[in-house]
Amino acid sequence: MLAAGSVTAVQAQRPATLDVTTARIMQRLGALAADSMEGRRAGTPGSVRARAYLVAELTAMGAKPIGSSFVVPVTLRARAGSDTAGANIVARIPGKHSSGPVLVLSAHYDHLGVRNGEVFNGADDDASGCVALLTIAERLLREPPEHDVILAFFDAEESGMVGSKAFVNAPPVPLDRIAMNINLDMVARQDGKALWVSGTSHSPGLKPIADAAAKTSSVPIRFGHDTKDLKPGDDWTGSSDHAAFHNKGIPFLYLGVEDHVDYHKPGDDADRVDPAFYRGTVEFAYALVRSADATLASVARAKP
Ligand SMILES: [Zn+2]
């Protein structure tokens, strides 16, 4: 566990030391995890603002929706203080071979909202995954992947993974074309000093893909949290949106950090993120997407 004093030191030296790419990542993280987003709870005005932010970023970089709009409506369960109109944000980065297998890269943009007057900003959970997706998308647009990459920013993960379940139940391409899912949920906090890759126990064929990406990683990469022998809560197979894909027989790799002191607390703020660590996890995720894209045809053939 990093001492509070260390975090302060990181913050104090930040403005002078950030390179352009890291500064952009941190600026986006600050925007999506700002108080004005009111914790992005599904079905609230703050969620609609977060949605508008993501659509504006995707539009500005030249990404395209799959149908007529990035916004794909999702019906939420009725809850106090929220609307039932949710939405996933879905975009497609065209690959050089657009008829074959597809990779779905996902993160969830909703969080817990406002409770007792306190905004739960969810910088790590999961603004961090969304900003990683935006960063990766920009690079894929500049240097197209071999295969189509679908970006899915899910709504309502925090209220029963409603967005990802809706996605796999009404997928934008036939499910059998989705070769795998890479899901990012909580990739910014350095407290555990490592990024976990989960899912290879279910799909051992994906391990070499992650190993290849790990070779160049500046942050330690660990494998696990995906077996039934672990104590309750430590098997992450069902703990985020990759579960929806797993339940449809689609292999997944999930990237995330261990729970930390600010997990599901109002202190999950952007200024508690170590920019160097977070930049490192974004770079690993990007390398992983490239590695998966390069071998996606064989991943698709190995699918059950
Ligand atoms: Zn989350």
**According to the model, what pLDDT value does residue 303 have?**
78
Å from CA of 298 to ligand 1 middle: 30
Q: How far is the CA of 157 from the centre of ligand 1 (A)?
A: 7
CATH code of the domain containing 249: 3.40.630.10
- Note the pLDDT of residue 101: 97
pLDDT under 70: residue ranges of the chain = 1-16
Q: Determine the 3-state secondary structure of 92 from DSSP.
A: strand
Q: How many domains does the chain divide into?
A: 1
CB atoms under 10 Å from CB of 234, counted, come to 13
How confident is the model at residue 11, as a pLDDT?
52
> What is the per-residue pLDDT for 232?
84
**Cα of 85 from ligand 1 centre, angstroms:** 20
In the prediction, which pLDDT does 14 show? 53
CA 216 – ligand 1 centroid, Å: 26
Q: From the CA of 243, how far away is ligand 1's center (Å)?
A: 12
CA of 178 to the centre of ligand 1 (A): 22
The pLDDT of residue 208: 97
**Residue 81: its pLDDT value, please?**
85
Show the domain range for 31. 4-302
pLDDT for 290: 98
3-class SS string, 155-188: CCCCCCCHHHHHHHHCCCCCHHHEEEEEEECCCC
Which residue in 214, 267, 259 sits closest to 236, CA to CA? 259
Alpha carbon of 184 to ligand 1 centroid (Å): 8
pTM attached to this predicted model: 0.94
- CA–centroid distance, residue 133 to ligand 1 (Å): 14
pLDDT at 15: 55
Q: Look at residue 2 in the predicted model and tell me its pLDDT.
A: 37
What is the Cα–Cα distance from 32 to 55, expressed in whole angstroms? 12
Looking at residue 301, its pLDDT comes to 86
